[in-house]
Structure formats: C-alpha cells, structure tokens
Structure 1
Amino acid sequence: MNKSSAPEVVTLDKIDKAILEIVQRDNKTPQRKIAELVNLSAPAVQRRIKRLEETGVIEANVAVLDPKKIGQSITLFVEVEMESERTDLYESAKRTFASAPEVQQCYYVTGEADFILIVTVKTMSEYEALTRRLFFENNNVKHFNTFVAMDRIKSGLSISV
C-alpha cells in the first residue's frame, strides 16, 4: 500500500478486537489460550490472526525494549521545522530520519513543527553528533527544538480497538 494514499479501513468484529487486545498486551500468548479467552477454536484464532497480518492490521510482531536496560538511558523528543516545503526535500528528510537507528519514531505533523522525532541515545555527546548529522548538515532544516524526558511514565504500542 502506498503510505501517502488513504489507508483501507479493515472491518473488525468484536472477536477480532478481543484478539487484538490480547496480542497487544503479549503477542507471545499461545493461540490456544487466546481461543479460550475469546471462545473460539485455536485454528479459528490462527486464521483470524493470519488475516489481521495479511490485511496489515497487525504490522509487526516486535519486542519492546527498556532503553535504560540496554544503555540508551536518554530519551529526547525533537521538533523539526523545515525551511522549504518542496516534496523532494521532505522525502529526503523522511528517508534520513527513518534510517537513523537512534530515531525510534518519526511523525510528519501539522503545526509549527514539520516532524516530531523520538530519539534514544546513551549520552548527550551522542545526541550532539546526531544533531550534526540529521539537522546541521541538512540545509533544509530551519530549526529544531529538543525536549529531554525526565521520566518514562507510560510507553507502549497498544491501540484501543
């Protein structure tokens, strides 16, 4: 699917939604356990999960890491304002931000900022080097503003369905 086109909305019934609630909490929950919780057979749950994956409702099965446990103890939120609105320059910035391993999430947004980045690094020196690479060396970055997270209150990837 082309990400710039309007996404196709997938119709979910209450059983699909119940399955999604379970796998968002723990995607390693055995399908037989999910089947018990939603009152279906394990093969029926397997078929539904496969359909949810094939339609893109489930984008990926990932492990959510605690950044502090792996030495990425600094989380930063960065607003990036671009100079020009040329499509080619925006697409180039999107590719650059997406390819930086320190950038955990990147959003193209409305408002004063054009992008919001969520970044994790080990040290502020590492962040300084990243700013040189992503912002100072990019002639289309007009301004960036950094917020340092003092504490992580809630994080997660679950969406209410």
Structure 2
Amino acid sequence: MTPFHLDPTDLLLLRQLQKDAALSNQALAELVHISPPTCLRRVKRLQETGLIERKIAILSVDTLAKVAGHGLSVVVEITLDRQDQHALEAFEKKVLPEDAVQQCYRVSPGPDFVLIVHAANMPDYLALTQRLFTTDVNVRNVKSFFSLKRSKFGAALPLPTEGPA
C-alpha cells in the first residue's frame, strides 16, 4: 500500500461517514460540498487504501433486548498460563469465529486479553465460557464484569480537524 495524503475534504468525508455510513452518495456530497462523482471517487479511494475497513449497522442493545429477550453485556479479562507468540495467536484464533465476542484486545500490563461479549442470557454466556475458557488448558484466570448499564458507546475515531501539513 502506497502512502496517501488526507486533505480537509477527506477528513470531512470520514467524519460524516463515521456519523452515518448509510448516507447516499448525493447526500454525502452535499454535506461535504463536492460533486457526487468526486465524492464517489474519494470514498472509493479511502476504501481501497484500507482507511475505511467496512461499513456496518450498529444495533441498539437495549431495543434488541426488548424484542429478542434480555441481553447480557460482559467485559471479560483473560490471563493465560503461557504468553508465547503461538499461545497468544491460538487464543485469538479461538475467539475469532464467536459472534458473541464483539471485541478482543491483547493488553498489557495485567491480563493478557480483554473481551467485550454480548450474550442473550446467562445460560448462553455459560456455554460460551465452557467452549472458550474452561476447556482451554492454557487459560489460567477468567474475570467477568457484567454490565448494569451502558452509559456511552461509540465507534467513531477522533480525527484531526485538518490534514497534515
């Protein structure tokens, strides 16, 4: 991938797309004050460079819980017995296909991993812990923190107000 320059228009596009990626090209172009063809070309370039990784819909945990049953949000700390590269990558590979594991961070100091998990209920969470942690001989410690209330959630990354000089 070749280096690229982000100008103020690119930053405006990224800012708007982080707020609402479902905007039509026409609406996005109007918000950023560029022509629709230019807008389309710039967004495509931002995607091709990997800066825009993907576009997703963010579901409301609270609304989903009302229609699909009570939701359970958990922050989980995992400590492994061995922390060699192979062991760390094996654990990451193990959690990757699990839809309930929303996020997985390798951290330091403290535990080796912090996971953000969403399960339908406690039995579903228990089944997940059995699959991922209990049967893994390299998992030394699991500490679960159950969310009582989500006070803030965001996915937008902070962007500079202007491009680099």
| TM-score normalised by L of structure 1 | 0.89
Of the three residues 40, 46, 52, the one matched with 1:52 is 46
Give 1:5's aligned residue: none
Note the aligned Cα RMSD (angstroms): 1.7
Corresponding residue for residue 32 of structure 1: 26
Match of 2:14 in 1: 20
SS at match of 2:22: coil
Partner of 1:80 in structure 2?
78
User: Identity over aligned residues, as a percent?
Assistant: 35
Counterpart residue number, 1:105:
103
Matched letter for residue 39 of structure 1: H
- Number of residue pairs aligned between Structure 1 and Structure 2: 155
Structure 1 residue 71: Cα displacement: 3.7
Gaps of at least 5 residues in structure 2 are 160-165
Q: Which runs of 4+ in 1 moved over 2 A?
A: 8-11
TM-score by length of 2: 0.87
Q: Does the alignment pair 1:117 with 2:111?
A: no
What amino acid is the match of 1:108? R
Q: Does 1:150 align with 2:148?
A: yes
How far does residue 79 in structure 1 lie from its aligned partner after superposition? 0.7
Contact 1:72–1:120 (CA<8 Å) still a contact in 2?
Answer: no
The unaligned stretches of length 5 or more in structure 1 are 2-7
Give the counterpart letter for 2:134 in structure 1: F
Give the C-alpha shift of residue 81 in structure 1: 0.7
In the TM superposition, residue 128 of structure 1 has moved relative to its aligned partner by 1.2
Distance 1:146 1:11, change over 3 A: farther
Amino acid in the other structure paired with 1:52: L
Q: Could you tell me how far apart the structure 1 residues matched to 2:34 and 2:79 are?
A: 50
Higher relative CO (Cα under 8 Å, sequence separation at least 6) belongs to 2
